[in-house]
């Protein structure tokens, strides 16, 4: 694990230097140089994919489980997570090397994120490399890549859906299909499909009500309220993943996972909400419907996350809100004639990476 960490940090430092240079180009020279930044993004994601895919069995909490599933692919019982099962069987019939399967998952995860960034860059003008680099600056990126890989690929499909929505909101099939494929990797993405679909359908609801809901539920969560307070309705909520309901609700496997109000996560989400609100008010002065839709999703998913604080592994619900942070930060990596946001934003992201690297190593 230590060797893996060192390699990951080395890759990060190398590309951080490049990111600093690009941020100066954006702020000072007022140029994106996206032909070069796109090529470097490809190199970045290939390097990360190889690092994630060639990891040893002891790297990542779920790697052993994935290896076991791969070795016994002939016992797969196809269910809701059909896409993952299909991929498992397909690769298993070609090779008996589980690293090949890990590489397939890793390249799919990173490839979908890169594709999403490229598609979004056609709609919003920003530096492609800086947005790509921002993903690996968050600790959840590594977690999704080596620990909870099925959810990682599933959320990458969600990012693809987001970028296609930004490209053409009226083409519903283009962004709904990736969400369905995401469910085929991890069933909890059904919550995202439902939530995002409702936000789009009721897009005329003022964003003010989302702010009220966000802070109201945050206070309720701080006072001990949670999804567990819903009583019998909770069984219906977990119907999409009934096999794990007992595990998540009652921590039946006796895992050593602290439940309760997570101050650090509440602060984290709220700090970024403040940043996004600044972008909406000061940079996107005349409003941007697609951006508001994504901001509404961030707040709505944060509300779900806050309600999950009392159950084990609530951070897995948090990742459903965190995954869109780089996209919501995108306007800060765009050329602005009257202000310089790129260098400051990048410095903040590097600080976050260093902070959580230290925090996770001592906790």
The CA distance from 34 to 362, in Å, is: 38
Q: Give the pLDDT band (50/70/90) at residue 337.
A: confident
Mean pLDDT (whole number) for 73-84:
78
Give per-residue pLDDT as tens, 93-151.
Answer: 989 898 999 999 999 999 999 999 999 998 888 999 999 999 999 989 999 999 888 99
DSSP codes of every residue in 29-57: I----HHHHHHHHHHHHHHHHHHHHT--T
Lowest-pLDDT choice from 144-158, 230-244, 299-313 = 230-244
Q: Identify the pLDDT of residue 302.
A: 96
Q: CA distances (Å), 177 to each of 164, 182, 315, 345, in order? A: 10, 9, 26, 33
Mean pLDDT of the chain: 87
Give per-residue pLDDT as tens, 54-63.
Answer: 998 888 778 8
Q: Identify the pLDDT of residue 247.
A: 54
Mean pLDDT (whole number) for 177-182:
92
Residue with tokens 């780089």: 326
Higher pLDDT, 257 or 342: 342
Contact (CB, 8 A) for 310 and 284: no
Q: Identify the pLDDT of residue 237.
A: 52
Residue percentage of the chain with pLDDT more than 90: 53
Contact (CB, 8 A) for 330 and 124: yes
What is the reported pTM? 0.91
Give per-residue pLDDT as tens, 265-297.
Answer: 999 999 999 999 999 988 886 558 889 999 999
Q: Identify the pLDDT of residue 254.
A: 47
Q: Give the pLDDT band (50/70/90) at residue 250.
A: low
Q: Give the pLDDT band (50/70/90) at residue 172.
A: confident
């Amino acid at each position: 694990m230590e060797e893996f960490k060192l390699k990951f940090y080395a890759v990060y430092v190398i590309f951080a230097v490049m990111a600093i240079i690009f941020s100066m180009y954006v702020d000072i020279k007022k140029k994106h140089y996206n032909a070069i930044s796109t090529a470097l993004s490809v190199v970045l994601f290939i390097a990360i994919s190889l690092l994630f895919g060639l990891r040893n069995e002891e790297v990542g909490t779920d790697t052993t489980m994935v290896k076991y599933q791969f070795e016994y692919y002939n016992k797969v019982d196809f269910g809701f997570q059909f896409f993952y099962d299909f991929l498992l069987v397909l690769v298993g019939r070609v090779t008996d090397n589980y690293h090949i399967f890990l590489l397939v998952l890793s390249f799919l995860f990173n490839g979908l994120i890169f594709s999403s960034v490229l598609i979004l860059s056609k709609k919003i003008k920003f530096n492609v490399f800086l947005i790509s680099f921002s993903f690996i600056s968050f600790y959840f990126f590594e977690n999704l890549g080596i620990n909870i890989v099925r959810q990682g690929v599933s959320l990458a499909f969600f990012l693809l859906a987001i970028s296609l929505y930004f490209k053409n909101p009226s083409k519903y099939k283009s962004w709904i299909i990736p969400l369905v494929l995401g469910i085929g990797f991890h069933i909890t993405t059904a919550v995202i499909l439902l939530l995002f679909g409702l936000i789009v359908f009721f897009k005329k609801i003022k964003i003010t009500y989302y702010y009220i809901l966000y802070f109201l539920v945050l206070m309720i969560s701080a006072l001990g309220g949670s999804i567990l307070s819903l009583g019998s309705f909770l069984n219906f909520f977990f119907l999409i993943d009934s096999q794990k309901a007992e595990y998540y609700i009652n921590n039946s496997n006796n895992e050593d996972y602290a439940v309760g109000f997570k101050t650090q996560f509440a602060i984290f989400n709220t700090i970024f909400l403040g940043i996004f609100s600044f972008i909406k008010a000061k940079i996107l002065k005349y409003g941007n419907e697609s951006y508001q839709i994504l901001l509404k999703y961030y707040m709505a998913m944060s509300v779900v996350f806050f309600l999950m604080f009392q159950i084990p592994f609530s951070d897995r619900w948090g990742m459903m809100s965190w995954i869109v942070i780089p996209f919501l930060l995108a306007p800060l990596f765009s050329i602005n004639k009257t202000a310089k946001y790129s260098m400051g934003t990048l410095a903040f992201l590097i600080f976050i990476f260093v902070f959580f690297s230290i925090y996770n190593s001592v906790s």
